Amino acid sequence: MSRWDGIDEFTAVAEQASFSAAARRLGLSTSAVSREIARLEDRLQTRLLHRTTRRVELTDAGRDFLARCRRLIDERDEALAAVQPDDQAPRGLLRMTCSVSYGERFIAPAVNAFARQNPELRIELDLDNRLRDLVGDGYDLAVRFGHLTDSRLMARRLASRRLILCASPDYLARRGAPRDLSEIASHDGLIGSAEHWRFTEAGREVSLRPTGRWRCNSGAAVLDAALQGLGLCQLPDFYVAEALASGALVSLLDDQRPPDEGVWAVHPHPRHVPPKVRAMIDWLHESLAQRSPA
């Protein structure tokens, strides 16, 4: 009996939440899948799954074991792929994370197109504004912005994004436009997830903490508040490009705009980039070059 016996079956059942669906995915009978998992639990002397007539749920031990099994299976599959010809299609599980708004607008469409062309690849795309620990949480790839600080990660620049200070014509008619950075403090700031706004002054980067009576951690909500004349906002270009083009918003202090931020693909494999990760990064680079606003 191999120490691997039951691991593929357990992982499939956990991911499908169904013995029959897992059996179809693995090309086995439902009874064979159930038997292998029972043997695995006997060897571990630990219950991994709660089984009822209507559903399958992971135990606490099962949830922890699943994360470890996924990594084992991925590393096994990557090791096998590494000695196969380079033209092998990406396969296995690819776990990714990105911020919500950018992910919905740019990353998810690109990932969906990649998935359509690579049917042997399973993808989990986690859209979350929290900065996830790629190594600890078992992610293969993340899309991040600005300055990168985690030395455990390798990075490739995919695109750029620009931060733009702007307001509606209605607000500016009532309050006037700031002529320099010192006047921003006297305006109503629409505060999003960033505590500070970034600018360039006399050739160096500076940051200001905006003040105002309105705050929300959603860029779309900040944009709506600006369109309704509630104050100044600083948002990435993809949020405001359409409103600027139509005149619904007016760009301010363009000569003091901060340097463009990098959009990065980062991954926790400094020595060997798995083929599925390398292929996805190449795809995202090409896709974002076509989609990102100028």
Q: What is the pLDDT of residues 62-114, one digit of tens each?
A: 989 988 888 788 777 767 666 656 556 788 889 999 999 899 999 999 999 99
Helix (H) or strand (E) holding 20: helix 19-26
Q: Tokens in use for 53?
A: 């007539």
Phi and psi torsions of 183, nearest 5°? -90, -10
Q: What share of the chain is helix, strand, coil (3-state, %, to 5)?
A: 45, 25, 35
Nearest C-alpha neighbor of 267 from the set 249, 254, 282, 257: 282
Q: Give the three-state DSSP class for 261.
A: strand
Task: Count the alpha carbons within 13 Å of 157 in the hemisphere toward its beta carbon.
Answer: 8
Q: Tokens in use for 255?
A: 């000569």
> What sign does the dihedral 56-60-62-63 (CA atoms) show?
positive
Q: What is the pTM of this model?
A: 0.66
**H helices within 118-263, ranges in order?**
134-137, 169-175, 219-227, 237-246
**H helices within 28-175, ranges in order?**
30-44, 60-82, 100-102, 108-117, 134-137, 169-175
Q: Please state the length of the chain.
A: 294
Cα separation, 116 vs 110, in Å, equals: 10
- Residue 124 contacts residue 93 (beta carbons within 8 Å): yes
What pLDDT, on the 0 to 100 scale, is given for residue 97?
94
Q: Which residues pair with 85 in a beta bridge?
A: none
Q: Tokens in use for 201?
A: 């002054």
Strand locations in 87-245 (E): 92-98, 121-127, 141-145, 154-161, 163-167, 190-191, 197-201, 204-208, 214-215, 233-236
Q: What is the pLDDT of residues 117-134, one digit of tens each?
A: 999 899 999 998 888 888
Ranges of residues in the chain with a pLDDT under 70 are: 1-2, 53, 78, 80-88, 149-152, 269-272, 291-294
Domains in the chain with CATH codes: 7-82 (1.10.10.10), 98-152+265-290 (no CATH), 163-256 (3.40.190.290)
Q: Hey, how many other C-beta atoms are within 10 angstroms of the C-beta on 103?
A: 21
